[in-house]
Amino acid sequence: MSKRPWYKRYPSDFISGTLQLSCEEKGAYSVVLDLIYDRGGPVPDDPQWIARVCNLSTRRWNQIRRRLLELGKLSAGDGHLTNSRAERQLKVEEKEHESLSSSGKKGAEKTNQRRGQSGENNSLEEKGPPGKKRHTRYQIPERKNPPTPLEGGPDDSPGVEADFATWYDFYPRKVARGAALKAYRAALKKTDATALLVGVGVYKKTKPEYAEWKHPATWLHGECWLDEERPPITDPSAGMGDGYL
């Protein structure tokens, strides 16, 4: 078995797209889809092996196989069986995984750099104005007026800047960076940096092809990281299909 413990499946798409199949045919089709996703690609077109997995006779599987090929649910070639939607979905997931891994590495590198700089700063005494008594980091005098978000504080910390840079690099549209940073800081009061990054991944995967990418600030103000994941739509007038073609 592969390392893929699960895959995305849309029940309504499958049910509506397999109305012309018998219950036995649906079951065999579903098992073959599981094999394709578990393998991460086409499976051997071995009638005896697939028949055993489906708990069918070889003769009965060959009949079902022929019908699934005629309906376009499966395709055969080079001694393998595959499904067109499964192939596309696997490629999308692979690209998404590569993008998230790359972003994660960049974020880790920046975090390590910040920690190194912080360690160097903590080893030094903090100096006060000329003529004032010097103090260590454990003896910093209190400010009479607490900092506002514009003067400093958590929303302007180097960590937020670095997290935003990672998020902005991953976002598909680069426009109005200043407004995006302001919206990003506001969004962190409602969620965390990881949720924002994952949300962009979902947006990139499911945005309809006919729609334009939202401005980064618009996406953040709209709390779009909370949008439910749905399959991408290529044509607003097209039907749902069975979700696997």
**Which of these, 36, 62, 67, lies nearest to 48 by C-alpha position?**
62
Same domain, 69 and 173: no
Same-domain pairing of 167 and 211:
yes
Q: Which of 32-41, 59-68, 111-120, 123-132 has the highest mean pLDDT?
A: 59-68
At 214 the three-state DSSP class reads: coil
Same-domain pairing of 172 and 112: yes
Domain count for the chain: 2
> 28 and 108: one domain?
no
What pLDDT shows up at residue 207?
81
Same domain assignment for residues 112 and 41 = no
Q: What are the strands of the beta sheet with 80-82, ordered from one edge? A: 43-44, 80-82, 75-77
- Let me know whether 208 and 171 are in one domain: yes
DSSP 85: H
The arithmetic mean of pLDDT across residues 219-223, rounded, is 90
Residues 100 and 75 in one domain: no
Burial 1-33 (b: 16+ CB within 10 A, else e): eeeeeeeeebeebbeebbeebeeebbebbbebb
Q: Is the pLDDT of residue 87 over 70?
A: yes
Percent pLDDT > 70 in the chain is 71
* Residue 128 placed within a domain: no
| CA-wise closest residue to 31 among 11, 52, 10, 17 | 52
pTM exceeds 0.75, yes or no: no
- β-partners of residue 77 are 80
* Count of CA atoms in the C-beta half-sphere (13 A) of 110: 16
Position 110 scores a pLDDT of: 73
Residues 26 and 72 in one domain: yes
106 with 173, same domain: the answer is: yes
Lowest mean pLDDT among 35-44, 93-102, 202-211: 93-102
Least confident of 6-20, 30-44, 60-74, 109-123: 109-123
Claim to verify: residue 20 and residue 111 sit in the same structural domain: no
Do residues 77 and 95 share a domain? no
2 domain residue, yes or no: no
Let me know if residue 28 belongs to a domain.
yes
The answer to the question of residue 4 being in a domain is no
Domain containing residue 189: 88-116+156-230
- Residue 81: what pLDDT? 95
CATH code assigned at 58: 1.10.10
In a domain, 136, yes or no: no
Q: pLDDT value at position 245? A: 43
Query: Alpha helix (H) ranges present in 1-54?
Result: 11-17, 23-39, 47-54
- Report how far apart, in Å, the C-alpha atoms of 117 and of each of 113, 124, 173, 190 are: 6, 11, 31, 29
- Residue bearing the bigger pLDDT, 199 or 144: 199
pLDDT digits (tens, 9 = 90+) for 162-174: 889 988 988 988 9
